[in-house]
A = this chain, B = another copy of it.
């Protein structure tokens, strides 16, 4: 029976990964680690036997012991201090913690000489500021990280390559672009819009949506397509290789708002909040996903409209 260790277990990507595992026709065992308790039920799956342990991944002795006991076949490393804004306020914590939690995992796999494949989840933030002529971004594009968070992510990639080449570890890497899907917290842009709009509609509030810059274009990939890519990369990805995990097409936030208001049958006025506009934000970030498609026979299954509809429905149920 395949054994998966998932870090960042309590996040919404992990929940969707469990649901993807449940949809497959085999029994698997999952050991989840997170510093927070999950807000979803993980004990009711029939094919996924789940254990959870609330720990800080910086606690090396605990991590060591869990890996020694569980001996995972696969590690899905989702845990991170993933906020770019946090990293500007706490650059050292962001950099050191992100790299240290990753190194703690690698060191124990190395010490035990475990046959274990690790998916190192990186970020499109690693590309930094890019020119429109380079869109869609290929994995071979120069990395130019512009935040402490992004530097940590590039360091994680470089360390992975050293552990693959120098110590023989089996690591596959991603650069993951914006996720969209039910369950994502509304500190992110799309669930923020959806929760605001649903709240307005449900409570007959003034039809005013607070936004940042709606002209920016991002590559949104449904979280259910993301987790399928992660599963396939764990099984079919090439050791030491980096894969963009993205939809391959760009959508402006303007378009996102338009689709949402159509689904909800609403008209809203836009109120720009200057504090939400980051001066150094790229106007456009879109990835090329050919490498992932070729390696894994992966295709997106959810259209942007499907995803937005599900996000709107999620917030309609939650609020």
Q: Chain A: residues with CB nearer than 8 A to chain B?
A: 88, 91-92, 95-96, 99-100, 103, 107, 142, 145-148, 151, 154-155, 158-159, 161-163, 165-166
What 9 A-B pairs have minimum CB-CB distances, sorted nearest first?
A: A151-B158, A155-B155, A92-B103, A151-B159, A145-B158, A148-B162, A151-B162, A92-B107, A154-B158
Contacts of A100 in B (CB 8 A): 92, 96
In the assembly, what is the distance between CA of A146 and CA of B107, in Å?
17
How near does chain B come to A111, taking the closest CB pair, in angstroms?
Answer: 11
Majority SS of interface residues in chain A? Answer: helix
Please determine whether A166 and B88 come into contact, CB atoms closer than 8 angstroms: yes
A266 to B102: give the CA distance in the assembly, Å.
Answer: 53
Q: How far is the CB of A112 from chain B (nearest CB, A)?
A: 15
* Chain B residues within an 8 Å CB radius of A159: 91, 95, 148, 151
- Listed A/B pairs (26) with beta-carbon separation below 8 Å: A91-B103, A91-B159, A91-B163, A95-B103, A95-B155, A95-B159, A96-B99, A96-B100, A96-B103, A99-B99, A99-B155, A142-B142, A145-B158, A145-B162, A146-B161, A146-B165, A147-B162, A147-B166, A148-B159, A151-B155, A151-B158, A151-B159, A154-B155, A154-B158, A155-B155, A155-B158
Return the contact of A146 from the options B91, B92, B95, B162 (Cβ within 8 A): B162
Cβ-defined partner of A91 (8 Å) among B92, B95, B162, B165:
B162
Interface centre among A99, A142, A151, A161 (most CB of B within 10 A): A151
Please measure, in the bound complex, the distance between the C-alpha atom of A161 and the C-alpha atom of B145, giving whole angstroms: 9
Q: Which residue of B lies closest to A165 (CB)?
A: B146
| Given contact pairs A147-B166, A162-B148, A96 touches B96 in the complex (Cβ within 8 A) | yes
